[in-house]
């Protein structure tokens, strides 16, 4: 939890426009992913899993399902409540489940709302040695630093 809090409190540096959230690796296995430590979320919906087409959203572990879970923005509620941030949800579609803050969700579970700083772990609890654990970080494109690097800052 301390590692997740540390990452959640730091601004996200990324030059890609349109990124609204980042999953940052916090477990050893997740940090060793060949696809990198950060999974950038920029579309309204992203499928994460072992056999997804886009390698940025791939978690190459046998225990992770091909299409393990979906992280998506509820744009309908976002349109109805324009002065509020658009809610983001995680829906598990796997065999082994997905943990959000140590709570296990299975494919029959309803979608769970994600909040800045939540810990998402694939197939095992975040503290387990075999876990692929990430911290969910909401971001806003805010400014450009002198060297041309865009900094995405977390929402207050």
Percent helix, strand and coil across the chain, each rounded to 5?
Answer: 15, 35, 50
In this prediction, residue 86 carries a pLDDT of 85
Report the distance separating Cα 71 and Cα 138, nearest Å: 13
Q: Which domains does the chain have, with CATH numbers?
A: 1-138 (2.60.200.20)
Per-residue pLDDT of 54-95, as tens digits, reads: 999 999 999 999 999 999 998 776 556 666 778 999 999 999
Average model confidence (pLDDT) across the chain: 84
CA 24 to chain centre: 7
């Amino acid at each position: 939890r301390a590692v997740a809090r540390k990452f959640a409190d730091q601004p996200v540096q990324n030059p890609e426009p349109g990124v609204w959230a980042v999953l940052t690796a916090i477990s050893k296995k997740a940090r060793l992913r060949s696809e990198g430590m950060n999974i950038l979320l920029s579309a309204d919906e992203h499928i994460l899993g072992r056999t997804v087409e886009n390698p940025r959203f791939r978690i190459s572990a046998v225990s992770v399902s091909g299409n393990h879970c979906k992280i998506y923005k509820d744009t309908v509620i976002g349109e109805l409540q324009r002065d509020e941030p658009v809610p983001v949800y995680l829906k598990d579609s796997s065999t082994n489940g997905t943990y959000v803050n140590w709570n296990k969700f299975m494919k029959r579970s309803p979608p769970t709302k994600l909040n800045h700083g939540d810990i998402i772990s694939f197939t095992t609890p975040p503290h387990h040695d075999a876990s692929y654990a990430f911290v969910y970080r909401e971001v806003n494109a805010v400014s450009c630093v002198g060297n041309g690097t865009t900094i995405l800052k977390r929402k207050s």
